[in-house]
Every structure is written in structure tokens, then in C-alpha cells.
Chains A and B, each alone.
Chain A
Amino acid sequence: MNSPFFYAFGQGIRNIFRNKWYSLASLATISTCLFVFGIFVAVVFNVNHIVSTVEEGVSVTVYFNEGIEQERIDQIQDLVKNRPEVSRCDFISADEAWAEFSQKLGENAEGFTENPLANSENLQIYLSDVSKQAELVSYLETVEGIRKINKSELTANTLTGVNKVIAYVSIGMIVLLLAVSVFLISNTVTIGISVRKEEISIMKYVGATDFFVRAPFVFEGMIIGLIGSVIPVLVIYYLYNFAFRFLYNNFSFLNDYISYVPAMTVFQFLLPVSLIIGVGIGFFGSFFTVRKHLHV
């Protein structure tokens, strides 16, 4: 193996074992930082998911003028469906409304020979973004053929507020955790290399090129970063699945109200982000730290 690339790669791996305490310390730092980051991401994903689920259940109900033609109802439904803030728009006929209501009434519904909700055909409109409810209602008020609009302003406003708080807190915490991770990991890499600056100077005195000196350190940093980022993601994956099953089995009464983000969804986000952070800091940290000691 005379290729400088393979030599440097081999040396990078050997360096990890030669400097096992430094390697372990770096691994522990990277893993811990990314584990905390991953846990937070998993929590944020689920909180967002729960809020989104609640949002999806918030609807605006539109009732039509008496004697309205079915054709006009279809037109209104099309108009509403095409609005960007609308995720779903279901037409409920008078018969369907009565069938649902009579189920709730049970035996009490038997006395009715005609549909008492004959005039209650409606559109149930679900929003993709609950903060746009007021905007939609304003629009609906201008549409001809609509008699009444039922909406829950309080729910919409509360959810919008909660969403904003979650978004700000999540972004703030993620940025903070990322900054702390980057700082801690790059410090570990810097310290690990700085204690070996004599080794770097020896290599330079013997006539090693900058690439020859730097490459093993960069590979070492990247390998430690890779392992250090994969470990916490795998641990989180298994912990998450475990927690998911535990909640599902032991708190089954919650299942009707809360659904959790599948582990794979969290994993699909967390794995690439962790790899970029771990391997990226391993690479750039080693690259720039070694550079400081190259001018011998």
C-alpha cells in the first residue's frame, strides 16, 4: 500500500488505538452531545406531531342558505378546496347529518318520522394551518349561498399561540444544543491534537508534507466523529422504540388522544444531521487544528 491516501487512512485508524484515552474521551463527548441533541429532537418532533394532530381536528363548519341548489354547493366546495390553507373539505348531506346525530340520540331518535335536520347539509373544512382560520372565515363570509359559519376562535388562537411558543423554544434549544455540541466537540479535537504537536513537528522535521502530516489526523477525527454520531442515534432509536411500546401498552387510554411519530421518521432526520455534525466537526476540527502546528 504505497498510496498516501491508504497510508493516511491506516495511520488514522492506528492513531485511534495508539491514543485510546483521547479517542475514548472524544467519542464520549461527541456521543453525549449528540445524544442530548437527539433526545431533544425526538421530543420536539412528538410535541409538534401532537399539536399538528390537534390542529387537524379543528374544523370550520359552513351551513347553506335554504333551498340552495346542489350545483352551487358543489361550486362552493370546489372554491374552498382550492384554498391553500385548506387540507380537507367534506360535504355532509342532511341525511348523513341526521344518521350521525340519531346514533347519538339512540332510542330517542325513533319518534322522528322526517329528518329534522333537513336544512343542515354543511361543509366541514379542516385547515392545514390553524392560524389561517380567521382568513378563511373572512373569505367564506363573502361567498354567496352561505347562511352560517361555525368556528372555534378560542381553540384556533390557543393552538396558534402554542405553535409559536413551541417553534421558538425548539429553534432556540436546537441552536443552543448545536452550539454547545460544536464547542465541546471541537475543543476535544483541538486538545487531542495540541498535545501531539511535538509529533507533528517531528514529522515536519523529517520532511513530511502538510498532507502527509494532516491526513491521518483528519481521518482519525472523521472516524471518531462517525462512530461518535452513530452510537447515540442507534441508542436513541432503540430507546425510542422501547418508550413507544411502553407508552402504547401501559398507557393505552392515551392512544385515542395522542399518536407518536414513528421511530423511523425521527431516525431519518437524526441520522444525517448527527453524521454531518460528528463527521463534519471531526474533519474541520482536525484540519484547522493541525494547520496551526504545521509551520515548523
Chain B
Amino acid sequence: MADRRKMKRGKGEGGIRNVIVLDNVNIAYSDANGVPALMDINLKIQKGEFVFIVGDSGSGKSTLIKLLLRELTADSGRVIVNGYDLGKMHHRQVPKFRRGLGVVFQDFRLLKDRNVFENVAFAERIVMKREKDIRKDVPNMLSMVGLAGKYKAKPKQLSGGEQQRVAVARALINSPTILLADEPTGNLDYRNTNDIMKLLEQINQSGTTVVVVTHNRDIVNEMHKRVITLKQGVIVSDEKEGEYIDE
């Protein structure tokens, strides 16, 4: 069975409550002389949570996101996302796993030669949605992110904030259970940063688990969400909603 490595919902640590579980995870890059990028990471994120992962450059934030995306695999320990044990996952299962995630990057990563509609529709095309449904879903999603009138525009004709909205629309079009955002406001000004964070909060309120990696302390302070702080590959603090105080 293709899904035999997906743990049954409600059972085990990656069950229905915890959509992300990291259990004694270690990883080191081969070109870093064995210096670990992440050390003994233990982490649980529940369904519907909004979590910030913060830390300085080199703290392991991006490595963590890459592990969750199954772009990297841990050297030891277990990484369970959406019930999939990523360490045991076959390369062929990765696409199906990723369709349950929405991903937003700092540099937007839009297909430059396709317009807004096609960029968002692409995520639906890969799951072979019917053209009729795509024509209905994409405009709805673009309306939700405030880009209804720009569906014909190419990425280079949009501002940074607008491009990030397109990326968010693409990430959400297949109704993922988890949205991973890696520095989503890194290339945006203050106003666009606020708009994007409001959009992410709105998405979270509709039930999607949102994990945001950022080094922007201001937005973390303003939003009063759970904050996990990484330092040199180790979790140094994990503060629940409202507990985080910027040092």
C-alpha cells in the first residue's frame, strides 16, 4: 500500500492532534565538518495552531522548514508531518505528501512566465482537478487574497506584497492542513508585511495550521502567538500564545 507509511489518524504521536512531531531530531550538513544544523529537536505542533519559529541567521530555522518539507531528511530521530513519517517515506510518495502542505517562501517562487491565474491554477493542475473547477476555484482564491482584478498580470508586473499574495493563494488552493511560510515578509515593506500577516491569521482562523519562520521580531511581538526560538540548532525556548517577550 502506497500509504502504509502514513500513520493512522488518532494513533501515535503524529495523530490527529499533533500535525507536526519532531522527536530527537539531529541533522548535520556534510559540508559543515559535521557541525550539526539541528540538535536533539523535540517539537509538537497541534492542528490549528499558529506558530512562529524565530532565531538568528544560522540558527537552523531554514533547515527545520526543509525537514518539514522533506527536502532534507534527518540523520537521526523522527519527523512526522500530517501523519507521514518522513524518514521512512519513499521519494515517490513525496509529491502526495507535499500536496497536504502549503508553502510560501521569502522570494515568492512564482513561475515567472505564467500569469497570476496560471500560477495559482498550477497547484490544482498537478492534482488533475477538472478545468471547470479550476475556473471556479482560482478566482475565488484570488478574491480571498485581494487580487481578483489581477489574474492576467505576470509576476513582474506585481508589487512584492502582491506576489506574496499570489504565493499564498497557490499554497492554499488545495486546502492544505498545514501552511509553512519561510520568511514570508522578508522582502516586504511594513504595510505589506502587516497585510500578509493578517492574511495568514485569517487562514489560521479557518482551521489551517500555520508555521511561520521569521527573524522579524516586530510581527512576532504584535501577534502574540506561540513562539519557538532556535539558537545554534537547539530549541532554547518554546513560549505559548501570549507568553513571548522579546529579549
Task: Give complex CA distance A296, B69 in Å.
Answer: 9
Q: How far is the CB of A63 from chain B (nearest CB, A)?
A: 80
Query: Given A2-B130, A2-B131, A205–B109 Cβ distance below 8 Å?
Result: yes
B245 is an interface residue with CB less than 8 A from chain A? no
CB contacts (< 8 Å) of B195 on chain A: these are none
Task: Kindly state whether residue B125 has any CB partner on chain A within 8 Å.
Answer: yes
- Cβ-closest chain A residue relative to B167: A202
With beta carbons under 8 angstroms apart, the residue of A1, A7, A18, A205 that contacts B98 is A205
Q: How far is A205 from B123 in the complex, measured between Cα atoms in Å? A: 10
| Contacts A2-B128, A296-B71 given; does A207 touch B110 at CB 8 Å | no
Q: Residue A207 contacts which of B91, B112, B126, B131 (CB distance < 8 angstroms)?
A: B126
Q: Is A208 in the interface zone, CB < 8 Å from B?
A: yes
Contact residues of A between 202 and 221, Cβ < 8 Å to B: 202-210, 212
Interface size counted on chain B using CB atoms at 8 A: 28
B95 at the interface (CB under 8 A from A): yes
- In Å, the complex CA distance between A7 and B122 comes to 11
Q: How many residues of A contact B (CB 8 A)?
A: 21
Contact across chains for B125 and A19 when beta carbons are under 8 A apart: no
A209 & B95 in contact (Cβ 8 Å cutoff):
yes
CA distance A296 to B109 in the complex (A): 14
B95 touches A208 (CB 8 A): yes
Are B126 and A202 in contact (CB-based, < 8 A)? Answer: no
Q: Contacting A206 at CB < 8 Å: which of B92, B103, B113?
A: B103
Using Cβ atoms and an 8 Å threshold, which residues of chain A touch B101? 207
Q: Are A202 and B95 in contact (CB under 8 A)?
A: no
Q: Which residue of B lies closest to A1 (CB)?
A: B131
| Cα-based distance from A296 to B94 in the complex (angstroms) | 10
> Is A199 in the interface zone, CB < 8 Å from B?
yes
- Chain A residues, CB < 8 A from B110: 202
Q: Most chain-B CB neighbours within 10 Å: which of A2, A18, A202, A210?
A: A202
Taken together as a complex, chains A and B put the C-alpha atoms of A209 and B98 apart, in Å, by: 10
Given A2-B131, A19-B113, A205–B103 Cβ distance below 8 Å? yes
The CA-CA distance from A208 to B114 in the complex, in Å, is 17
Residue on A nearest B101 in the bound complex, by CB: A207
Q: A198 interface residue, CB < 8 Å from B?
A: yes
Tell yes or no: A262 within 8 A of B by CB.
Answer: no
Interface string of B88-104 (1 = CB under 8 A from A): 00011011111101010
Does chain A have a CB within 8 A of B226? Answer: no
Of all chain A residues, the one with the shortest Cβ separation from B174 is: A207
Q: How far is the CA of A51 from the CA of B71 in the complex (A)?
A: 63
Q: Which residues of A contact B99 (CB under 8 A)?
A: 206-207
- Cβ of B174: which chain A residues have Cβ within 8 Å of it? 207
Which of A1, A203, A296 is B126 in contact with, Cβ under 8 Å? A203
**A116 part of interface (Cβ distance < 8 Å):** no
In the bound assembly, the distance between CA atoms of A207 and B111 in angstroms comes to 15
A84, CB-defined interface residue at 8 Å: no
Instruction: Tell me if A161 counts as interface (CB < 8 A to partner B).
Output: no
Within A145-202, the residues touching B (CB, 8 Å) are 198-199, 201-202
Query: Is A4 on the interface with B (CB-CB < 8 A)?
Result: yes
B170 at the interface (CB under 8 A from A): yes
Chain A 39-94 residues near chain B, CB threshold 8 A: none
Question: Are B127 and A207 closer than 8 Å at their CB atoms?
Answer: yes
Q: Which residue of B lies closest to A17 (CB)?
A: B113
Q: Please give, as numbers and ranges, the residues of chain A lying within 8 Å of B103 by CB-CB distance.
A: 205-206
- Shortest Cβ distance from residue B120 to the other chain A in the assembled complex, whole angstroms: 10
Chain B residues lying within 8 Å of A206, measured Cβ to Cβ, are 98-99, 103, 122-123, 126, 170
Considering the complex, give the chain B residue whose CB is closest to the CB of A295: B91
B137: min CB distance to chain A, Å: 15
Return the contact of B111 from the options A1, A7, A202 (Cβ within 8 A): A202
Closest partner residue, chain B, to A196 (CB atom): B113
Q: In the complex, are the beta carbons of B98 and A207 less than 8 A apart?
A: yes
Complex Cα distance, B101 from A18, in Å, reads: 29
A136–B50 Cα distance when bound, in Å, is: 95
Q: Which residue of B lies closest to A2 (CB)?
A: B128
**Which 5 pairs from chain A and chain B are nearest by CB?**
A207-B99, A207-B98, A208-B126, A18-B113, A209-B95
Q: Which residues of B are interface residues toward A (Cβ below 8 A)?
A: 69, 71, 91-92, 94-99, 101, 103, 109-114, 122-123, 125-128, 130-131, 170, 174
In the assembled complex, 18 residue pairs joining A and B whose CB atoms fall closer than 8 Å, in A order, are A2-B128, A2-B130, A7-B128, A18-B113, A199-B112, A204-B95, A204-B98, A205-B98, A206-B99, A206-B103, A206-B170, A207-B97, A207-B98, A207-B99, A207-B126, A208-B95, A209-B126, A210-B92
Supplied contacts A4-B128, A207-B127, 4 more A-B pairs, CB within 8 Å: A2-B130, A198-B109, A206-B126, A209-B95
